[in-house]
Copies of this chain bind each other. A is one copy, B any other.
Amino acid sequence: MTRVSTRKTEVSGVITLLTDFGMADPYVGIMKGVMLGINPDARLVDISHGIQPGNIFEAGVVLKESYAYFPRGTVHVAVVDPGVGTSRRALVLLADGHFFVAPDNGLLWPIISKQPTNTLIHLTNPAFFLHPISNTFHGRDIFAPVAAHLALGASPFEMGNPIDDPIKLSIPLPMEHGQKLKGQVIRVDRFGNLITNIDVRTLTQYAASPLSNVTVTVGPMKIKGISSTYADVPTGKELALIGSSGFLEISVNQGRADRKIDPCGMVVGTSVWVDKTGA
């Protein structure tokens, strides 16, 4: 296995990990052990291992929200892989100056669909894998060693062949329904904030008027106007604002918005309506 040394200047040496493995089992630690065996100087950062088991959509959303805050040339390994052991492909994606290593199951689609200039490699070169390759833990046997080699400066073009037909993910997009804009809750965070799929650009194009006039309706909550910060409303009161990732969020000042919808937490997927007429 030769390495293209000219690539070495482009990598940051940072590898991020995003999985649904949790932190109690040793699987994440084992992946890190494999990576440090190949690349002793890799700097390893956890994005999250708390993705709901098998939830490809959640992983894709979180990865897209996070990656750009890392230095260019970072390698992001994302393993939510309910199809491990089947013929689903393993991929490297080069997009927006970052490397992504993941199964071909839609996880990378939120990034691919926003970054039309990208390169996708189907990982086939066994020289970059750990052997024997198990049928149940490609995070350890394929994704971790590939990421470690990438972060050393190995070229993804040595690792397999370019493809252009990745698996797509059905991403719910906000849409106008009559006078209203309809979106949905795509993530609930630890604070009970509801992150929607309505980005600030879609919202402002739709509203075409001061955002103070719109109403946001989600479950039993009807909120007037878009706030700047939590403290714009009294403690315990709900509000809508543009969150730190540029998407409409519904929160409760010093409280939990998710509990207003469903105390049992079945909140992702709930419809969110924005009405510019203020009705």
User: Measuring CB to CB, which residues of chain A are less than 8 angstroms from any residue of chain B?
Assistant: 12-14, 16, 18, 20-30, 32-34, 36-37, 40, 43-51, 53-54, 62, 65-67, 69-71, 74, 82-86, 134-137, 140-141, 189-191, 228-231, 241, 243-244, 249, 254
Q: Which residue of B lies closest to A190 (CB)?
A: B22
Q: Give CA–CA (A20, B190) in the complex, Å.
A: 9
A230/B136 in contact, CB under 8 A: yes
A258: shortest Cβ distance to chain B, in Å? 12
Bound-state CA distance A267–B44 (Å) is 34
B13 touches A29 (CB 8 A): no
The reply to whether B230 and A66 contact each other, CB–CB distance below 8 Å, is no
| 13 residue pairs from A and B, CB less than 8 Å apart | A13-B40, A22-B50, A23-B50, A24-B48, A24-B190, A25-B48, A30-B65, A33-B69, A33-B70, A36-B45, A36-B71, A53-B191, A82-B230
Contact indicator A136/B241 (Cβ below 8 Å): yes
Which residues of chain B are within 8 angstroms of A21 by Cβ–Cβ distance? 190
Q: Separation in Å of the A243 CB from the closest CB of chain B?
A: 6
Determine the residue in chain B with the shortest Cβ distance to A44: B45
Given contacts A83-B231, A135-B228, contact A45 B33 (CB under 8 A): yes
Chain B: which residue is nearest A82 at the CB level? B254
Asked if A49 contacts B23 (CB within 8 A), the reply is yes
Min Cβ gap A15→B in Å is 11
With A69-B140, A136-B229, A229-B135 as contacts: A23 and B48 at CB distance below 8 Å:
yes
For the complex formed, measure the closest distance between the CB of A55 and the CB atoms of chain B, giving whole angstroms: 11
**Inter-subunit contact A29/B53 (CB<8 Å):** no
Report if A40-B190 is in contact (Cβ < 8 Å); known contacts: A29-B48, A33-B16, A46-B29.
Answer: no
CB contact under 8 A between A25 and B190, given known A36-B14, A37-B70: yes
Contacts of A48 in B (CB 8 A): 23-26, 29
Q: Which residues of B sit under 8 angstroms from A84, Cβ to Cβ? A: 229-230
Interface pair A54/B254, CB less than 8 Å apart: yes
| B229 in contact with A85 (CB, 8 Å) | yes
Whether the Cβ atoms of A26 and B40 lie closer than 8 Å is no
